[in-house]
Amino acid sequence: MLRRILALIVKELAGLWKDGKTRFVILVPPLVQVAIFAYAASYDVTHVRLGVWNDDAGAQSAELVRRFTASPAFDAVASFGSPAAARDALDAKRVAVVLHLPQDFSADLLAGRTAQAQLLLDARRSNSALLAQGYAATIVGSFAQDLHPGRNPPLVLLTRDWFNPTLESTWFILPGLVCVLSLIMSLLISALSLARERELGTFEQLLVTPLRPAEILVGKALPGIIVGLINANIVLLAALLWFRLPFRGDLLLLEAMLLLYTLSGVGIGLALSSFARTQQQAMLGVFVVASPMIVLSGYAAPIENMPHLAELASRADPVRYMLVIARGLFLQDMPAGVVLAQAWPMVLIAAVALAVAGIAVRRALS
Amino acid sequence: MSEPGAAPFAPVSMTPSAAPAVAPVVAIETLRYVFPGTPPRVALDGVSAAIQPGAITGLVGPDGAGKTTLLRLMAGLLRPAGGRVVVLGHDMATDAAAAHPAIGYMPQRFGLYEDLSVAENLDLFADLHAMAPALRAERVARLLRFTGLAPFTARLAGQLSGGMKQKLGLACALLSRPRLLLLDEPSVGVDPASRRELWAIVTAMLEEGRADGMAVVWATAYLDEAARCASVLLLHEGRLLAQGPPAVFLAPLGGRVFRLDVAAQGRRAVARQAASHPAVLDAQVAGDALRIVLREGAVMPDASALGGIALRPVAPRFEDGFVALLAPPAGAAPPPQHTAPVAAKGRDGSTDAITVADLVRRFGTFTAVDHVSFTVRRGEIFGLLGPNGAGKSTIFRMLCGLLRPSGGQARVAGADLMRAPADARARIGYMAQRFSLYAELSVRENLRFFARVYGLGRAAQGRAIEAALADFELVDTASSVAGTLPLGLKQRLALAAALLHGPDILFLDEPTSGVDPLTRREFWTRIGALADAGVTILVTSHFMDEAEYCDRLGIVSQGRLAAVDTPAALRARVRSAELPEPTLEDAFIALVQPP
Amino acid sequence: MNATLLRMRGLVRKEIKQILRDPSAILIAFLLPVVLLVVNGFGISLDAREMKLAVVIEAPEETARGMLQALDASPYLSVQRALSRHDGEAAMVRGDVRGMLVLGEDFSQRASRPASWPAKAQLLVNATDPNTARILEGYVGGALQVWLAGVTTERRLTSAGGVALQYRDWFNAELRSADFIVPGIIAMVMTMTGTLLTALIVAREWERGTMESMLASPARMAELIAAKLGCYFALGMASMAGSVLLAIALFGLPYRGGVLPLAAAAALFLVFALGLGLFISTLARNQFVASQLAFLTTMMPAMMLSGMLFDITAMPHWLQLVTYAVPARYLVAILQTLFLAGDVWAVVLPNLAGLAVAAVLAVGATLAVTRRRLD
């Protein structure tokens, strides 16, 4: 029995490896995606294009503008003399933020009154606007504090960012990419494999051999798992060696979890495949399934922000659990108990998906 | 591609019958075509020919000879690497668009839109040819009547039977009254009755278009069709080996073709013995006798020297000419002696390999197989014959364990494959209709995969694979990727893979559909040797030549078994005054006709 | 009737019938966008709400309790008491809370007397998700300011001489992330449906051999491609209109632009996407490779590099250059502007030009590849 399964696995892997284009597609896209997405997928806000609309000629306003310009968060790219000019620039996206200081800004400060300042933000990108507000508030706050060097503020909030003290976006995105890229690969390979045999007529050839349905399933599942794991490890290596991510957890534990995870991905792929008559249908199925799986996992946006129904749906998504594990093991040495609490839903998903695929393979015989 | 002087086959010089007065429809001049790729493969080289109006020109040759490429060049779908094709005065390399309105082209897979209805397909082609409404209506009606598709105009093309699809494809190609009709193997996979109809439609249309100077090019693997053509182009490995009327191909065979009467038993063994005689070029089982073609200049040997009873001369057929031109020259290695496992008696001691009793299969309310019963003896070649859609494939699939019967019993090697443990399947071999091995793996990897899947031990694997490579002459191509092999080799590989584990019973599903005659007879020689070694063979087919190789035939019609008998007995059933020498095809057509 | 017109009529009729009879075209054009819009629209939300925050108050007194209430009043925070730092840290590691606010023993004492200012509070944040961490920090800081303002009303003067910074969030006053993400999703959906429609459906035409008989007919290659693109174009435009209406109905997005620039942008983009699909289907014969190519060239760049989710200006310079090669970038910019700002021609026109270039390139590449296909 082992020999039969092994034969199937060797055949599948050889089939993937033999074709130059397929080989290319397995190895190169993950690396390209790591390179591009690790740099692209950042909610960081730097170099926000700032327009200055300063109606005040005093020294204080000049100092505040200087502080904005000096901050890495803002690049002053324009200055305006009229509201119309500021509005046009915002409309046309030439600037994302306009700092407006009214005529009497310096005078108010010198007189001990509260000076008014206005920040006009292009909130088409709400997240960036929110973060720009935060940076502006910090700059203005320290400016105000420095106006009265002797006076203590009533409250100081000391913030410590655990696990990612410099708030690096790549630290967040790369563990996610480990999960997402290996998912896409294991889904595709397994979804296309059964459909391909069916379309090319080799499936019947397999069915008349002594291979049992369960053996066919195992033989079809393992190559997807192997390639998925290879992909995950390519990203893992890139993260550690190129992007210098810390790895604080147990590497062996991560690999074990990745195995479970790719198993559930392959299970879903095979289940899709068992319903597809052609490779094309299988591919469409992968498209339709993969996108929600990635979105609902919390890869791009936190699950807490989702509506209740979406949150419920995400519970059937293995990526959700693997993401918590990967991020936890990379950055915070998540204890094994916490990891295992995330692991059992993946086992459940894999079991259900493989059972569905198994029933479908069996049904092919009648 | 070898130099002309070093060609393995002597070129046949054929003087064209009196030079025609009319200009040819297609003039082909030293045409060359090379498939791009690494390395590039020469598909056609130095082909010069003329297609005359008012006639059907047959295009024959082994698989991969370049038939489809030549048709595509005539249709202007490919750009020649050298030489030129001129259709109705237009050079197809530069001016194909001008010729297209006068060309009707039916590609191998008919080129129909399966999700459009019959009428819609015809409409589309009428639009593409910008036909005037009045002309269109008249023409469509006429073609529908002619093809017998009139009652099915609303049916989707995808839901037509194979034969009907072919007729629709033909109708679409004929719609615009083309002056040049190009047909790429239009009769592959169609039962004999439909083939005859197809031929009748084309000849009728040709008659109608004779005034316009219409010409037809018909590529085919069926040599009986080629024999009926006015002129034949024989391609081999990209070269035009011979051209001329079929009679020209037969001329050198005068006095070289004989019928050898043999004993009822063991005719396959006699055929092998006869084929190895130095004077014999070809020896084939033909019904209850053998057909012998002598080598050129050979002296007729004694009947007993060939293992038969009596020899009498018969008229040569086109196929004999084809084989004589293409068969390997004397001294080439004969097909290797097979090292097939000799299956003794069945494990259950029975002499019946397959027993089918009251087998029924329903799909919804449709009964595809209706109480079918028969038995196949050990070491017998049993053929299931029937028109498309008669239910033979359904029976076949139930026997292989691919389909669950709705009722009745099918026991194979004493076991029900549907219920038996997987190991029981190790005793059967299966070769599907389409090449269904792994195209991206090499020959050796394919064999190794099946050896492992059938649970052969490591040492046994090695032995079985080496033996198979040697037996099936695949040693030289062992590391080639299977998908790139020519069809004949693919088929050998598929058979090798199906036999690797030494099965007791071999299932063959239309094994030589679309395969050229040389490959076909080589295939059947192997199958014959296997049967003689005790392997039971069950085969489905609608190829009458294939049927001749069978010991017994079951004729399937409308889900029932219309007859089970030997080929000779079936022919005898339809013998009559008008039909003193009925062919198996005649018998088949008579038997499947609804009473 | 002119022969070309007659041929085009035949081809177009054929395509329409095929589309109507083939469920997969309808599926791709209408079901896929709905699924993607709904899932992505609800699934990708950067609007943090009820972020779980553990609060450790080591000396519970009136001041600290008031602060707790102030934090709890924020719609963005969901506060839970933790008994000790240790408990809070454990909850953070488990992922039960996003952060922990620690008010030390002397907090209330120091907060209540200006002489002992500043009172110190410590905020520990699980920064594995840096974006959420920053937002949490912002909201906690904001909530504390509110509390401070309330508690020290009599001492409000202390902040005099400071600067009051006022925010005006234009185009999206409520800072709803859906307002900028959903137009982006429409762009992503259009990329996928456009490419898939042709990539998958045209591939079948080659596979079934119908392309061969078309090529041997009097129809010209340009006519074949025009008929095909035309029909799928109409389907894609319908799908686009449906997506826009759905975005307005389901997510309550404003639409402030005109129909014309939207139609122009959609049209150009569709031509690009359909052309890309044709190109892929012609080039890649292996379906596995084709699917990966489609994934790689459509969904991923549309999601990551179009500016739909991630700000292009925050990317490294070389990557910003790369984004110019992602046509979804132009569509996203136009859609976000049309939905939220209106017909700002200074944004719309340059991006339309970008889309036009992409469309021309895609169709040109397809024509170049397809002509040689049978060879």
Q: How far is CA A201 from CA A214, A269, B335, B392, B433, in A?
A: 20, 20, 29, 18, 9
Q: If you average pLDDT over residues B141-150, what whole number do you get?
A: 89
For residue B15, is pLDDT > 50? no
- Cross-strand pairs, A159: C123
Mutation site for C-interface testing, chosen from A194, A305, A340 by largest number of C Cβ within 10 Å: A305
Beta carbons within 8 Å of B141's beta carbon, 6+ residues apart: B150
Please indicate if any CB of chain C lies within 8 Å of the CB of B94: no
Asked if residues C270 and C236 have their Cβ atoms less than 8 Å apart, the reply is yes
Please indicate if any CB of chain B lies within 8 Å of the CB of A209: yes
B534-581: per-residue pLDDT in tens? 899 999 887 777 788 888 999 998 889 988 998 888 888 888 888 877
pLDDT score recorded for residue C194: 84
Neighboring chain B residues of C7 at a CB cutoff of 8 Å? 127-128, 130
Per-residue confidence band for A364, with pLDDT thresholds at 50, 70 and 90? low
Pairing of strands B560-565, B552-557: antiparallel
Please indicate if any CB of chain C lies within 8 Å of the CB of B101: yes
Please indicate if any CB of chain A lies within 8 Å of the CB of B438: yes
Average pLDDT of the residues of chain C? 82
Neighboring chain B residues of C22 at a CB cutoff of 8 Å? 115
Supply φ then ψ for residue B243, to 5 degrees.
-150, 150
CA distance B542 to B538: 14
pLDDT score recorded for residue C137: 86
- Low-confidence winner among B26-35, B573-582, C227-236 (lowest mean pLDDT): B573-582
Q: Which residue of C has its CA nearest to A72?
A: C314
Structure tokens at C160: 């005099």
Q: Mark which residues 120-179 of C lie under 8 Å from B by CB.
A: none
Structure tokens at A163: 């696990």
pLDDT score recorded for residue C60: 66
Measure CB to CB from residue C374 to each of B77, B108, B115 and give the nearest one. Answer: B77
A131-172: per-residue pLDDT in tens? 888 888 888 888 887 877 766 777 777 888 888 887 788 888
Beta carbons within 8 Å of A261's beta carbon, 6+ residues apart: A179, A182, A183, A318, A319, A321, A322, A346
Pairing of strands C77-82, C99-103: unpaired
Instruction: Quote the distance between the C-alpha of residue A47 and its chain's center.
Output: 22
Beta carbons within 8 Å of A99's beta carbon, 6+ residues apart: A50, A51, A52, A53, A54, A64, A65, A68, A117, A118, A119, A136
**First-last CA distance in chain C:** 33
Per-residue confidence band for B3, with pLDDT thresholds at 50, 70 and 90? very low
- Cross-strand pairs, B215: B180
Neighboring chain C residues of A154 at a CB cutoff of 8 Å? 111, 114, 117-119, 148, 152, 155, 158
Apex A297 CA angle, A293 and A300, nearest 5: 105
CA distance C301 to C329: 9
pLDDT score recorded for residue B581: 77
How far off is chain B from C360, nearest CA to CA, in Å? 26
CA distance A237 to B370: 63
Please indicate if any CB of chain B lies within 8 Å of the CB of A21: no
Measure CB to CB from residue C162 to each of A96, A134, A144 and give the nearest one. Answer: A144
User: Which residue in B545, B595, B547 sits closest to B570, CA to CA?
Assistant: B547
Q: If you average pLDDT over residues A206-222, what whole number do you get?
A: 86
Q: C361: buried, middle or exposed (CB in 10 Å: 19+, 13-18, 0-12)?
A: middle
Structure tokens at B83: 């030489």
Q: Mark which residues 104-163 of A lie under 8 Å from B by CB.
A: none
For residue A346, is pLDDT > 50? yes
**Percentage of chain B modeled with pLDDT above 70:** 90
Interchain pair B432, A204: CB under 8 A: yes
For residue B595, is pLDDT > 70? no
pLDDT score recorded for residue B347: 53
How far off is chain C from B73, nearest CA to CA, in Å? 10
Asked if residues B516 and B61 have their Cβ atoms less than 8 Å apart, the reply is yes
Average pLDDT of the residues of chain B? 83
Q: How far is CA A42 from CA A75, A128, B548, C307, C313, in A?
A: 18, 11, 74, 11, 10
Asked if residues B153 and B119 have their Cβ atoms less than 8 Å apart, the reply is yes
Mutation site for B-interface testing, chosen from C205, C210, C287, C370 by largest number of B Cβ within 10 Å: C210
For residue B13, is pLDDT > 60? no
pLDDT score recorded for residue C83: 84
CA distance C40 to C45: 9
Beta carbons within 8 Å of C158's beta carbon, 6+ residues apart: A151, A154, C114, C152
pLDDT score recorded for residue B374: 93
How far off is chain C from B391, nearest CA to CA, in Å? 25
Asked if residues C347 and A92 have their Cβ atoms less than 8 Å apart, the reply is yes
Q: How far is CA A13 from CA A29, A214, A271, A273, C50, in A?
A: 18, 19, 20, 18, 48
Supply φ then ψ for residue C125, to 5 degrees.
-125, 135
Interchain pair C93, A334: CB under 8 A: yes
pLDDT score recorded for residue C282: 74
Q: Which residue of A has its CA nearest to B436?
A: A202
How far off is chain A from C126, nearest CA to CA, in Å? 5
B504: left (phi over 0), alpha (psi -120 to 50) or beta: alpha
Please indicate if any CB of chain C lies within 8 Å of the CB of A146: no
CA distance A78 to C53: 40
DSSP string, A67-93: HHHHSTTEEEEEE-SSHHHHHHHHHTT
Q: Which residue of A has its CA nearest to B401?
A: A208
B154-207: per-residue pLDDT in tens? 998 888 877 888 889 999 999 988 999 999 988 877 777 788 888 999 999 999
Interchain pair C212, B127: CB under 8 A: no
How far off is chain C from B397, nearest CA to CA, in Å? 25
Structure tokens at B508: 């063959």
Structure tokens at B520: 């076909």
Strand, helix or coil at C258?
Answer: coil
Beta carbons within 8 Å of B29's beta carbon, 6+ residues apart: B48, B83, B84, B85, B86
Measure CB to CB from residue B402 to each of A4, A7, A208 and give the nearest one. Answer: A208
Q: Mark which residues 169-208 of A lie under 8 Å from B by CB.
A: 200-202, 204-208
pTM (two decimals): 0.79
Q: How far is CA B361 from CA A107, A366, B403, in A?
A: 98, 11, 9
B451-491: per-residue pLDDT in tens? 888 888 888 888 999 998 988 888 888 888 888 787 778 88
Interchain pair A205, B428: CB under 8 A: no
For residue B6, is pLDDT > 70? no
Q: B71: buried, middle or exposed (CB in 10 Å: 19+, 13-18, 0-12)?
A: buried
Q: If you average pLDDT over residues B350-356, what whole number do you get?
A: 84
Pairing of strands C51-57, C77-82: parallel
User: Which residue in this structure is represented by tokens 């389409």?
Assistant: B434
Q: Mark which residues 297-336 of A lie under 8 Å from C by CB.
A: 300-302, 304-307, 309-310, 314, 324, 327-328, 331-332, 334-335
CA distance B182 to B199: 14
User: Among A10-14, A76-80, C109-113, which range has the highest average pLDDT?
Assistant: A76-80
A280-309: per-residue pLDDT in tens? 778 888 878 888 898 889 888 888 888 888
Structure tokens at B93: 């390399």
Neighboring chain C residues of B78 at a CB cutoff of 8 Å? 374-375
Neighboring chain B residues of A366 at a CB cutoff of 8 Å? 403-404, 418
Instruction: Quote the distance between the C-alpha of residue A173 and its chain's center.
Output: 5
Measure CB to CB from residue C218 to each of B106, B116, B128 and give the nearest one. Answer: B128
pLDDT score recorded for residue A132: 86
pLDDT score recorded for residue B74: 93
Q: Which residue of C has its CA nearest to A136?
A: C165
Per-residue confidence band for B332, with pLDDT thresholds at 50, 70 and 90? very low
For residue B337, is pLDDT > 70? no
CA distance C327 to C357: 9
Asked if residues B372 and B321 have their Cβ atoms less than 8 Å apart, the reply is no
pLDDT score recorded for residue A168: 82
pLDDT score recorded for residue C155: 52
A39-79: per-residue pLDDT in tens? 887 777 788 899 999 999 888 889 999 999 998 889 888 89
For residue B14, is pLDDT > 50? no
CA distance B135 to B143: 12
Encoded amino acid at B87, one letter: V
Neighboring chain B residues of C220 at a CB cutoff of 8 Å? 97
Encoded amino acid at B434, one letter: R
- Cross-strand pairs, B239: B236
Please, which chains are in contact with A (at least 3 CB pairs closer than 8 A)? B, C
Interchain pair B105, C216: CB under 8 A: yes
For residue C44, is pLDDT > 60? yes
Instruction: Quote the distance between the C-alpha of residue C59 and its chain's center.
Output: 45
Interchain pair B430, A365: CB under 8 A: no
- Residue B573: CA atoms inside 13 Å, Cβ hemisphere, count? 19
Give the neighbor-by-neighbor strand order of the sheet with C99-103.
A155-162, C119-126, C99-103, C51-57, C77-82
Neighboring chain C residues of B106 at a CB cutoff of 8 Å? 213
CA distance A116 to C165: 6
- Using N-to-C axis directions, what is the helix angle for C130-151 and A126-147, rounded to 10°? 50
Q: If you average pLDDT over residues C41-51, what whole number do you get?
A: 81
CA distance A8 to A14: 10
Greatest alpha-carbon pair distance for chain A in Å reads: 94
CB atoms within 10 A of CB A311: 17
Measure CB to CB from residue C213 to each of B107, B120, B130 and give the nearest one. Answer: B107
Please indicate if any CB of chain B lies within 8 Å of the CB of C220: yes
Instruction: Quote the distance between the C-alpha of residue C33 and its chain's center.
Output: 14
Interchain pair A292, C35: CB under 8 A: yes
For residue B92, is pLDDT > 80? yes
DSSP class of residue B484? G
pLDDT score recorded for residue B328: 65
Q: Which residue of A has its CA nearest to B441?
A: A15
Measure CB to CB from residue A11 to each of B401, B434, B438 and give the nearest one. Answer: B438
